[in-house]
Amino acid sequence: MFQTKAMIHSLQSEDTATILHENGPNDVVAEYDGTRYTAIYNPFVGLYYVDDIYGELKNQNTCPNCGGYIPNTERRNSA
C-alpha cells in the first residue's frame, strides 16, 4: 500500500490516491477520497489512472479481477 499521484477520471487531472492492490498493470485497486475504485497503471507515462466514474467497487474489500481480499486501511486523526 502506498500513496502516489494518479490521474483521476472525474477531475481529468492529477491528485493523490492510495494504491491498495496491484497484480499487474491492468489489475489495480486504488482508494481515492475514501472510496475504492478500479485503476490501471500506464508504464509509458508512469501514472496510475483511477476510474472514479465507472469503477467504484461494489464490494470494497475484494479485487474484482483476482478475487483477492483487500483489508481496510487504518485511518488516524491527528489531535
Length of the chain: 79
The mean per-residue pLDDT over the stretch 44-50 comes to: 96
Which residues constitute the domain of residue 49?
1-73
Residue 79 lies in a domain: no
Mean pLDDT of the chain: 88
Q: Please write the tens of the pLDDT for every residue from 48-79.
A: 999 999 999 988 888 887 788 888 876 544 44
Structurally, the chain folds into a number of domains equal to 1
Query: What is the band of 2 on the pLDDT scale with cuts at 50, 70, 90?
Result: very high
Residue 78 lies in a domain: no
Say if CB 27 and CB 33 are below 8 A apart: no
Residue 60 lies in a domain: yes
- Structure-block grid coordinates of residue 4: 502516489
Residue 6 lies in a domain: yes
